[in-house]
Structure 1
Amino acid sequence: MIQLIQDYWRAYLFTDGEHITGVAITLWLLVVSVGLGFCLSVPLAVFRVSTNRWVSGPVWLFTYVFRGTPLYIQLLLFYTGLYSLQVVRDHATLDAFFRSGMNCTLLAFTLNTCAYTTEVFAGAIKATPYGEVEAGRAYGMSRFTCLRHIVIPSALRRALPLYSNEVILMLHATTLAFTATVPDILKIARDANSATYLSFEAFGIAALLYLAISFALVALFRRAERHWLAYLAPRRH
């Protein structure tokens, strides 16, 4: 156990001497995919609640497909499936993009979390109290201004508890990155296990690292909830 830690602690945390690995790569995958997914999901959630089927329909289809198929299958389709197509290999830009395991992993993770986050935010938008919208209109706000200043901020605050669960689940989903040869925490644990045959110790360290990151994320979201959802807390008389 001690020898394994001495030999692999750097790789578990940030580098194997040549490349960024371990916790650093896992956090990179999480932050980039969740960040891009969040930015994409906000406008998509607005489209999702639209009464125009030509607007909401494509978004519904997108979320249905990505929520209805396993993330592992999506990753394999992007990493090996698309690259097997001649049209992708013949196009220089597509060939360079889909040849990279990191690019394919980020694309799969981003679209997957975007689909789930879109539905979370769409539900929060639908649950916005009508009185808040009426108050905005009473002040003379246009529909777009009311959406931007009242509906979306209010929905994002109320969606925090559900969104925090999605981020934690996305952290756990990053364990699939090793499929595309991305050197995340699990990939390092597998390498350590192959070299030392100390399976319990190698994967136990990985479990502790994921647990520590999860606790840190939960603490951050709880603090955010106390700050932005304080107005929903019961008032003491």
Structure 2
Amino acid sequence: MENLAWLNELLADNRIFTPQTIAYYWDGLVVTTQLVFLSLVAGLVLAIPLAIGRSSNRRWISLPIYVYTYVFRGTPLLIQLYIIYYGVVFFDGIQQTFLWPILREAFYPALIAFTLNTAAYTTEIFRGAIKATPRGEIEAAKAYGMSQGLMMRRIVLPSAFRRALPAYGNEVIFMLHASAIASVVTLMDLTGAARFVYARFYAPFEAFLFAAAIYLCLTFAILYFFRYLEKRLLAHLKPQGGN
């Protein structure tokens, strides 16, 4: 009980964890969840056709995709966020278009940067999984007379998704952790809420430790979700108990 004395004093003092500051953390959690979820969904939608094109033997298709993934995987996400957030104002006439009310908000440039970044990583993850498709499955599909598109949709992509699941789970966790940099462009996400509480009460330990605990809970939830998916989708690969 003596080890929890500092926590009891903190709660009794009630300086930091007031209903107002908890509301700041809640709003930051909502922004973080929206940013990560939307960027992952949009990135996955982009990555699937890009991975198929990246696996193509035609260089005029695969080479531009390779350059895109190389650039976004080879540069820091923070730099990409700065370029998109601050660089959009340098396009001539952008402030007179219908896009300006959207792009001037910090959330949407951050969403664009995160989407392009995770799409690049996810493309390479799925490209490797597509390349690892057993040749016997492809030959069996051709023997059944499947077209290239039908074979990709019915055989290659489902098989590749199962193989890519562990690596993609790591990418999801990486994007959750990387979302902490969104606060540098004035976005009030979870880390931004912790910075606000720190600046107001000058209590960095409590403010950031609470945010870290929330990130940790989200990480465990993601790990549990992907382990559940792996258990369901890869159950046929587990050895059956013998007599």
The structure 2 residue matched to 1:107, chosen from 108, 112, 115, is 112
Does residue 46 (structure 1) correspond to residue 52 (structure 2)? The answer is yes
Equivalent residue number for residue 17 of structure 2: 5
Supply the distance in 1 between the matched residues of 2:231 and 2:83 (Cα, whole angstroms).
Answer: 40
Q: Aligned to 1:159, what secondary structure does the other structure show?
A: helix
Q: Does the CA contact (< 8 Å) of 1:78 and 1:98 recur in 2? A: no
The structure 2 residue matched to 1:199, chosen from 173, 185, 204, is 204
CA RMSD of aligned residues (A): 1.2
Aligned length: 229
Q: Aligned to 1:183, what secondary structure does the other structure show?
A: coil
User: TM-score when scaled to structure 2?
Assistant: 0.91
1:216-227 matched pairs, under 5 angstroms: 216-227=221-232
Q: Aligned to 1:172, what secondary structure does the other structure show?
A: helix
The structure 2 residue matched to 1:148, chosen from 153, 170, 173, is 153
Identity of aligned residues (%): 45
Supply the distance in 1 between the matched residues of 2:224 and 2:214 (Cα, whole angstroms).
Answer: 16
Q: Does the CA contact (< 8 Å) of 1:48 and 1:59 recur in 2? A: yes
Equivalent residue number for residue 18 of structure 1: none
| AA in 2 matched with 1:102 | F
How far the C-alpha of 1:83 sits from its partner, in A, is 1.4
How far the C-alpha of 1:110 sits from its partner, in A, is 0.3
Supply the distance in 1 between the matched residues of 2:240 and 2:54 (Cα, whole angstroms).
Answer: 34
For each residue in 1:112-142, what CA deviation from the matched residue of structure 2 results, as whole angstroms up to 9, or x when unmatched?
A: 0000000000000000001111111121111
Does residue 210 (structure 1) correspond to residue 241 (structure 2)? The answer is no
The structure 2 residue matched to 1:183, chosen from 170, 188, 203, is 188
User: TM-score when scaled to structure 1?
Assistant: 0.93
The structure 2 residue matched to 1:93, chosen from 95, 98, 109, is 98
| AA in 1 matched with 2:164 | A
Supply the distance in 2 between the matched residues of 1:93 and 1:83 (Cα, whole angstroms).
Answer: 14
For each residue in 1:120-179, what CA deviation from the matched residue of structure 2 results, as whole angstroms up to 9, or x when unmatched?
A: 000000000011111111211111111110001100111000000000000001101112
Supply the distance in 2 between the matched residues of 1:234 and 1:76 (Cα, whole angstroms).
Answer: 49
For each residue in 1:29-52, what CA deviation from the matched residue of structure 2 results, as whole angstroms up to 9, or x when unmatched?
A: 111000000011001000000000
Equivalent residue number for residue 83 of structure 1: 89
Supply the distance in 2 between the matched residues of 1:234 and 1:115 (Cα, whole angstroms).
Answer: 35
| AA in 2 matched with 1:185 | L
Equivalent residue number for residue 62 of structure 2: 56
- Point out the more displaced range, 206-215 or 177-186: 177-186
| AA in 2 matched with 1:43 | P
How far the C-alpha of 1:59 sits from its partner, in A, is 0.6
Q: Aligned to 2:57, what secondary structure does the other structure show?
A: coil
Structure number with larger C-alpha Rg:
2
Supply the distance in 1 between the matched residues of 2:205 and 2:92 (Cα, whole angstroms).
Answer: 43
Gap runs ≥5 in structure 2 = 1-9
How far the C-alpha of 1:235 sits from its partner, in A, is 2.7
How far the C-alpha of 1:87 sits from its partner, in A, is 4.3
Gap runs ≥5 in structure 1 = 14-20
Q: Aligned to 2:154, what secondary structure does the other structure show?
A: helix
Supply the distance in 2 between the matched residues of 1:119 and 1:154 (Cα, whole angstroms).
Answer: 16
Equivalent residue number for residue 39 of structure 2: 33
| AA in 2 matched with 1:5 | F
Does residue 129 (structure 1) correspond to residue 134 (structure 2)? The answer is yes
